[in-house]
């Protein structure tokens, strides 16, 4: 299109008022456009009409040249237009082709592509090794060697026999040269004083995670251990460290300033404290036997004075149980070193790997001066986190008992629709279902306080625990509840993961957590070590639909009753057809990765510059 014409059109478009339009039409300077081809035709016609007349040959020559110039110009203009149009048309073609392709794609395909993008982001995470190792390209290829061997009669068993035992206990394994499962503690060559102690606590035979996990760890292998809440993971990762510490101490006794041999990392102070107490009782039992040296264990968590640990620090150090923040602080202050540290275990490892702690863990790893044996344990570790973790370990073995993220089958799960305003009153009724002890979970600190206040008013002996309480208050609450002085503990998420309270009869989830993993951990405070328990969960119209779907599938998987209001919650993915897969990020069965609440949370944390002190990391 000619420039003058386009100018005119632009003017009209920009001048909406009729008077302005009129002004343009009446513009006297306006000369209508005549295309070059038409002008040439007119000139030719003029020339031919002159053909009879005598003409100056110089004039004829000039006119001829003018005509040729115009013809060239016209050709150039056409060429330019052709090019421009081709590019434009091509762009339009690409656009319409893409639109067509997009229209052809099903919603499922689109979701799959979105999932792939997110998974790619997870895959591109830096390995979970120390920055030093990353920078120097240090890569260990061999597992650590230990002197432990299974008894000969177990070594002599065929692979088929091992597989049969694993199958019997629903244990899935992955990896190379997997040590055999061992069905009796005595065959694991555990000191008899520890066995006696365990027996006194009615721990006589290993649980599935223990019967495969302990031999694997004893053999020095890196390990990812996944098993239901309350299935005895703590013993599975503490015992190998205790045995390693005995071995090292027996070779050359540790003196002040030496050690530790290994470290156990926990995501919360409460969990670290509980694990520390377990280690202390097991090492004390061991020392009774006389044959074995006394082992020294230190607890490194925020909120406590390290002066309490002076006694342990004044001798050689064998075991450290810690939360990441305080541990880094101690290492930076050179209170002890990892020069001889060979064992790193992360409890609730998926939580540790979640972005909030990933950098801390990498910093901790950079204090190791030699190859370490790394163990990761959790009840909920989705496949993608397993894959990521596996890349960071050396010839790792995956020991999986049940689906990661599945609920403990020893818990009877009851989900009830309770209107927001009726919850408090109904709670009292619910407390009558079982004798104490009972834990009530709420996602909100203020609500935790409100519930405790209400229960105290109604004469119920209740304590409360959440992130805004002081360390003393938190410890008091746990002590009095564990000791039986208080019947009910009201808790925010901080108390859910990994805490092992005595024989909780009933867990009441006052407000359903957004992440189904949190729900699995919360109901997992009951039904522990083979006993059964009840979990009652309140949901209502404030509960997000997707959370309800996760819950519905979890109940179905566990063979539990699905209440009618949950049964009617439709899965939007079902109408798109195709197989419904669980979310590879959080393991929830009711949504895909793009709707994952955990991912939102992770991104939120990633954006927040501060560490989540609610969980007591420091």
Ligand X SMILES: Nc1ncnc2c1ncn2[C@@H]1O[C@H](COP(=O)(O)OP(=O)(O)OP(=O)(O)O)[C@@H](O)[C@H]1O
Residues forming contacts to ligand X in the complex (CB under 6 A) are 201, 203, 206-207, 210, 227, 229-235, 379, 498, 500, 524, 528-530
Provide the minimum distance between the beta carbon of 103 and ligand X in the complex, in angstroms, as a whole number.
47
CA 457 remoteness from chain centre: 39
Provide the minimum distance between the beta carbon of 601 and ligand X in the complex, in angstroms, as a whole number.
20
Burial class of residue 114, CB neighbours in 10 A (0-12, 13-18, 19+): middle
Provide the minimum distance between the beta carbon of 585 and ligand X in the complex, in angstroms, as a whole number.
19
Kindly tell me which of 233 and 466 has the beta carbon lying closer to ligand X: 233
Provide the minimum distance between the beta carbon of 406 and ligand X in the complex, in angstroms, as a whole number.
12
Concatenate the DSSP letters of all residues of 428-458 into one string: HHHHTTSPSPEEEE-S-HHHHHHHHHHHHHT
What angle, 0 to 180 degrees and rounded to 10, lies between the N-to-C axes of helices 233-251 and 192-200? 150
Provide the minimum distance between the beta carbon of 335 and ligand X in the complex, in angstroms, as a whole number.
28
Kindly tell me which of 236 and 455 has the beta carbon lying closer to ligand X: 236
Contact 397, 221 (CB under 8 A): yes
Distance of alpha carbon 558 from alpha carbon 563, whole angstroms: 14
The DSSP symbol for 526 reads B
Provide the minimum distance between the beta carbon of 207 and ligand X in the complex, in angstroms, as a whole number.
5
Q: Which helix (H) or strand (E) holds 471?
A: helix 471-482
Distance of alpha carbon 352 from alpha carbon 344, whole angstroms: 13
B/e letters for 492-516, b = 16+ CB within 10 Å, e = fewer, are: bbbbbbbbbbeebbbbbbbbbbbbb
Provide the minimum distance between the beta carbon of 208 and ligand X in the complex, in angstroms, as a whole number.
9
Distance of alpha carbon 475 from alpha carbon 489, whole angstroms: 12
Task: Find, among 200, 604, 173, the residue nearest to 396 by Cα.
Answer: 173
Provide the minimum distance between the beta carbon of 324 and ligand X in the complex, in angstroms, as a whole number.
18
Kindly tell me which of 206 and 382 has the beta carbon lying closer to ligand X: 206
Kindly tell me which of 344 and 379 has the beta carbon lying closer to ligand X: 379
Contact 155, 149 (CB under 8 A): yes
Question: 70: which strand partners?
Answer: none
Kindly tell me which of 525 and 552 has the beta carbon lying closer to ligand X: 525
């Amino acid at each position: 299109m000619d420039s003058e014409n386009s100018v005119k059109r632009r003017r009209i478009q920009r001048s909406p008022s009729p008077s302005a339009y009129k002004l343009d039409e009446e513009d006297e300077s306006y000369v209508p456009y005549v295309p070059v081809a038409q002008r040439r035709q007119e000139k030719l016609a003029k020339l031919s009409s002159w053909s009879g007349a005598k003409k100056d040959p110089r004039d004829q020559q000039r006119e001829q040249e003018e005509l040729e110039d115009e013809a060239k110009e016209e050709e150039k203009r056409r060429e330019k237009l052709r090019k421009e149009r081709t590019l434009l048309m091509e762009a339009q073609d690409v656009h319409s082709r893409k639109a067509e392709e997009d229209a052809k794609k099903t919603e499922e395909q689109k979701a799959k592509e979105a999932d792939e993008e997110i998974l790619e982001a997870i895959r591109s995470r830096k390995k979970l090794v120390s920055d030093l190792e990353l920078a120097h390209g240090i890569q260990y290829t061999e597992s650590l060697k230990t002197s432990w061997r299974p008894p000969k009669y177990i070594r002599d068993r065929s692979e088929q026999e091992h597989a049969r035992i694993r199958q019997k206990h629903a244990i899935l394994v992955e990896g190379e040269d997997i040590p055999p499962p061992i069905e009796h503690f005595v065959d694991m060559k555990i000191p008899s004083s520890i066995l006696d102690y365990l027996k006194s606590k009615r721990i006589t035979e290993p649980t599935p995670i223990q019967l495969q996990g302990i031999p694997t760890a004893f053999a020095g292998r890196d390990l990812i251990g996944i098993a239901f809440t309350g299935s005895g993971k703590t013993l599975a990762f503490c015992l190998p460290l205790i045995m390693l510490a005995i071995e090292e101490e027996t070779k050359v006794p540790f003196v002040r300033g030496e050690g530790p041999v290994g470290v156990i990392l926990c995501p919360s102070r409460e969990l670290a404290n509980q694990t520390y107490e377990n280690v202390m009782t097991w090492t004390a039992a061991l020392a009774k036997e006389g044959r074995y040296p006394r082992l020294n264990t230190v607890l490194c968590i925020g909120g406590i004075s390290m002066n309490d640990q002076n006694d342990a620090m004044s001798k050689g150090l064998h075991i450290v149980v810690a939360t990441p923040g305080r541990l880094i602080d101690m290492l930076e202050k050179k209170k002890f070193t990892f020069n001889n540290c060979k064992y790193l275990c992360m409890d609730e490892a998926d939580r540790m790997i979640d972005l909030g702690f990933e950098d801390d863990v990498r910093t901790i790893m950079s204090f190791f001066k030699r190859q370490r044996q790394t163990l990761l344990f959790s009840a909920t570790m989705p496949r993608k986190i397993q894959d990521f973790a596996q890349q960071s370990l050396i010839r790792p073995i995956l020991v999986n008992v049940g689906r990661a993220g599945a609920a403990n089958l020893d818990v009877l799960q009851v989900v009830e629709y309770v209107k927001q305003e009726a919850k408090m009153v109904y709670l009292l009724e619910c407390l009558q279902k079982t004798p104490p002890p009972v834990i009530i979970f709420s996602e909100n600190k203020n609500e935790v306080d409100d519930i405790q206040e209400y229960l105290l008013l109604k004469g119920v002996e209740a304590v409360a625990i959440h992130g805004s309480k002081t360390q003393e208050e938190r410890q008091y609450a746990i002590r009095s509840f564990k000791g039986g002085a208080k019947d009910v503990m009201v808790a925010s998420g901080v108390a859910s993961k990994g805490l092992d309270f005595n024989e909780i009869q009933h867990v009441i989830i006052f407000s359903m957590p957004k992440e189904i993993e949190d729900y699995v951990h919360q109901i997992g405070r009951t039904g522990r070590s083979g006993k059964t328990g009840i979990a009652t969960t309140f949901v209502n119209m404030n509960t997000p639909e997707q959370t309800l779907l996760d819950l519905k599938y979890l109940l179905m998987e566990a063979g539990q009753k699905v209440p009618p209001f949950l049964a009617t919650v439709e899965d939007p993915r079902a109408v798109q057809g195709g197989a419904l897969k669980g979310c590879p990020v959080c393991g929830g069965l009711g949504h895909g990765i793009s709707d994952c609440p955990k991912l939102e949370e992770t991104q939120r944390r990633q954006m927040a510059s501060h560490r989540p002190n609610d969980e007591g990391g420091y």
